[in-house]
A = this chain, B = another copy of it.
Amino acid sequence: MSKSSIYLPAGFRFAGVTCGIKASGKPDVSLIVSDRPLVAAGVYTTNQIVAAPVVLCRSRTPSSTVRAVVTNSGNANACTGSQGDADAKAMCAHVASLVGCDETDVLVMSTGVIGKLLPMEKVKSGIEHAVAELADREEAFFAAAEAIRTTDKDRKTESRELELGGESIRIAAMAKGAGMIAPNMATMLSVICTDASIEPKEANAMLRRVARVSYNRVSVDGHTSTNDTLLLLASGTGTPLQGDSLCLFEQELTELAIQLAKQLVEDGEGATHVMQIRVTGATNDASAETIAKTVAASPLVKTAITGGDPNWGRMVSAAGYAGEPIEPAKVSLRVCEELIYENGTPLKFDAASLSATMKEHPQVNLDLCVGGGNGEAVYWSSDLTTDYVRFNSEYTT
């Protein structure tokens, strides 16, 4: 999916370069610049331990005057005190001086090691290099997507083109995140660029709704990072989208965000399967979400998926401790579309055959009905493997 060609929205230029933050010598500075003011909305980590770039971005969005987003990988600029705040600001100021805009119109993201100061000389020369490389070509977009990676196996991108009211609108988006490499807590960064015209207030509200059913519905290890950032940048200058067009745009954006969010889980550290948990029959959607999240986080459910074990006792009992109301006598479960538990009663099924199905499919679907209500939610999670444990228990501090 990440290899398909990209519908580049008008008004954006991209670059990804290497400045030397990473010992590996891989790209580590990513830049997105627009020559006209962008509408920008952001959704950020809910962790109370917040990285410096997140603090800065929060204060600068929503906006209708953003001109650039600079990102470094390899260092999260988190838990770095006042020097970290100063460094985040300096990154923005340096970009502003080179592209000719106000420094408050530049956003910044960082991802990588926690608790280490940024090597600012390297970062500054990386920014200069990136500005020189800016281009509105696909290769430049991919380079920018490469340069935000940390432990990701591959770059993660999604793109769409749609017709709204006779106008063609393009969306191109990138993300990073695969879990964590010690002591790297910065799991998730994502930028969605579009040439749609959207009002800042609409963009802001829409991005929250989109995040709720996409990025906020995936988990590798349940550990919310200090740096999570999702940005929507819109370069359109025409009449802002409204009515049906706005709804259609949001629908498209939601589908794109879900695809990108699922890429995070597919690339979860050590993951061999994605599980999709669909909860229905809950008292309301929020309750269904909590139940789905609880099932997704259970190490016993995750290891059952790893082993191709249709272990319904683990799945059903995880729903039972989610702290949300369920009706045990109405609980039913399908694993890979096969009904194996119905209205609180186990059904006979061919365990060996279902196990083989689970092992074959990279995505295992769990459909769990928890009662007679109307609440429902879908959640995606990676499984838990010995590789995850090995990777994260290696001594790295």
A392 close to B225 (CB less than 8 A): no
Give the CA-CA distance A313 to B75 in the complex, in Å. 13
A393 close to B320 (CB less than 8 A): no
Interface assignment of A307: CB less than 8 Å from any CB of chain B? yes
Query: Which residue from B225, B300, B355, B386 sits with its C-beta under 8 Å from A395?
Result: B355
> CB-CB < 8 A to A208: which residues of B?
none
A395 close to B48 (CB less than 8 A): no
Q: Which residue in chain B gives the minimum CB-CB distance to A358?
A: B395
> CB-CB < 8 A to A331: which residues of B?
49
Q: Work out how many copies of this chain go into the complex.
A: 2
Give the CA-CA distance A298 to B187 in the complex, in Å. 14
Interface assignment of A346: CB less than 8 Å from any CB of chain B? yes
A346 close to B115 (CB less than 8 A): yes
Interface assignment of A89: CB less than 8 Å from any CB of chain B? no
> CB-CB < 8 A to A299: which residues of B?
221-223, 299, 384, 388, 392
Give the CA-CA distance A392 to B346 in the complex, in Å. 21
> CB-CB < 8 A to A384: which residues of B?
299, 389, 393
A314 close to B223 (CB less than 8 A): yes
Q: Which residue in chain B gives the minimum CB-CB distance to A298?
A: B223
B328 close to A50 (CB less than 8 A): yes
A313 close to B79 (CB less than 8 A): yes
A389 close to B393 (CB less than 8 A): no
Interface assignment of A344: CB less than 8 Å from any CB of chain B? yes
Give the CA-CA distance A180 to B396 in the complex, in Å. 30
Interface assignment of A385: CB less than 8 Å from any CB of chain B? yes
Give the CA-CA distance A318 to B224 in the complex, in Å. 7
B386 close to A79 (CB less than 8 A): no
B185 close to A392 (CB less than 8 A): no
Q: Which residue in chain B gives the minimum CB-CB distance to A272?
A: B393
A177-191 CB mask vs B (1 if < 8 Å, else 0) is 000101111000000
A185 → chain B closest CB, angstroms = 5
Interface assignment of A7: CB less than 8 Å from any CB of chain B? no
A183 close to B115 (CB less than 8 A): no
B395 close to A308 (CB less than 8 A): yes
Interface assignment of A136: CB less than 8 Å from any CB of chain B? no
> CB-CB < 8 A to A134: which residues of B?
none
Give the CA-CA distance A226 to B184 in the complex, in Å. 36
Query: Which residue from B312, B344, B389, B397 sits with its C-beta under 8 Å from A309?
Result: B397
> CB-CB < 8 A to A312: which residues of B?
115, 183
A47 touching B393 in the complex, CB below 8 Å, given contacts A311-B182, A311-B183, A313-B79: no
B223 close to A182 (CB less than 8 A): no
Q: For window 100-126 of chain A, which residues contact chain B by CB distance below 8 Å?
A: 114-115
Give the CA-CA distance A46 to B322 in the complex, in Å. 10
> CB-CB < 8 A to A69: which residues of B?
none
A314 close to B49 (CB less than 8 A): no
A321 close to B185 (CB less than 8 A): no
A286 → chain B closest CB, angstroms = 14
A317 touching B389 in the complex, CB below 8 Å, given contacts A115-B312, A223-B300: no
Interface assignment of A374: CB less than 8 Å from any CB of chain B? no
Interface assignment of A326: CB less than 8 Å from any CB of chain B? yes
Q: Which residue in chain B gives the minimum CB-CB distance to A308?
A: B395
> CB-CB < 8 A to A185: which residues of B?
300, 313-314, 317
